[in-house]
Amino acid sequence: MSVIDSALVQIKQLHPYSPGKPIEELERELGISNAIKLASNENPLGCSPKARSVLEQASEHIELYPDANAYYLKQRLGEKLGVDENQITIGNGSNDVLDLIARSFLDASAEAVMSQYAFMVYGMVTQACGASAKIAPACARDSESPYGHDLEAMAGLISDKTRVIFIANPNNPTGTWLRADALEAFIENVPDHIAVVVDEAYFEYVDLDQYPDTMQWLERFPNLIVTRTFSKIFGLAGLRVGYSVSSPELCDLFNRVRQPFNGNSLGLAAARAALDDDVFVEQSRLSNASGLQSMQQWFDARGIEYIPSAGNFLTVCFGDSSMQIYQQLLERGIIVRPVGNYGMADFLRISVGTEPQLQQLYQVLRELL
């Protein structure tokens, strides 16, 4: 028997996460320059200037291990969010925190509940633990929240084996979101021994009535875990910093399974500085709102279906032509994201870019369509 043959069955069945195509790879393959990437929901304005300004100083002692407890970042996060530092778990991106949560609660005897088109990492971390993923059908295509989380269907899957429920708000790749009243009522009816994870990676982009700040519910729901990231609006995707906020008791559990030094020195310093850059965050939010409106109007004018989004991307239906259009966009130096791996082969997910990037996208799509 080879070492591969002896690997755990659930590991061999895992499908690795497929990231958006890097700009450098596309330019190298096609021999082009000035390609644009609208595939990974990154901040097109770059990163916080305050974050960038601390990187040189933070790099002066990279021969030393980083602060394993992320003391100063957790201190600043606690002040900003109004929570205690012992409620915060830092991860190598929020994906790392999702993995910590799964490893804290799931094993071969357990189940995790998630929505049909939810962020695929939920299924990956569940399967990696040997647990079973119970997937609730999403809301109908013609519903108020097309392809979004159907909380009633998710509640129907809760059993005596359920240990974790994953909820993305807003959800990637659909952009759909849940109202405060509906989400609050759902969590109230979840048994206390089941962890409810609300993934708010796009939280800072949302400016909608009835969108909840679930961080305010932590005292009422000791089984609630909220995850957020510095990869999106703060523009620090390359430095990999995410976090969760939960009860101190849950936080203690996660720190028992957390790898030592899972936050690097540059990322910790940049994240702390970025938290104080309210000007950059507001500029990013306004730029995104303008760009998202522009995209919706452009597709509306042409009768092209898309899923209404509360994030920094729009998932657009191109039907049977989606992969052809994806490839043709690549050949013209524009990277978007196919979502066939989510079971949405008719759609392409397009990140909100700067106005010049969006105009370049529109010009190429005019030619293709």
Which residue type occupies 193?
Answer: H
Q: What is the pLDDT of residue 133?
A: 97
Q: Is the pLDDT of residue 313 over 80?
A: yes
CA distances (Å), 293 to each of 45, 232, 298, 311, 361, in order?
17, 19, 9, 12, 15
Q: Take residue 7 and report the two structure tokens written for it.
A: 């690997």
For the chain, what is the total number of helices (H) and then of strands (E)? Answer: 14, 13
Q: Take residue 121 and report the two structure tokens written for it.
A: 């990492």
CB atoms within 10 A of CB 269: 22
Q: What is the pLDDT of residue 25?
A: 81
Q: What is the pLDDT of residue 182?
A: 97
What is the 8-class DSSP label of residue 275? T
| Sign, CA torsion 6/11/15/20 | negative
Domains within the chain, CATH numbers bracketed: 9-47+278-368 (3.90.1150.10), 50-274 (3.40.640.10)
CA-based nearest residue to 99, from 126, 117, 74? 126
Interatomic CA distance for residues 325 and 366, integer angstroms: 11
User: If you average pLDDT over residues 327-334, what whole number do you get?
Assistant: 93
Query: What's the whole-model pTM score?
Result: 0.92
Question: Residue 123 — pLDDT band, cuts 50, 70, 90?
Answer: very high
| Sign, CA torsion 38/42/45/46 | negative
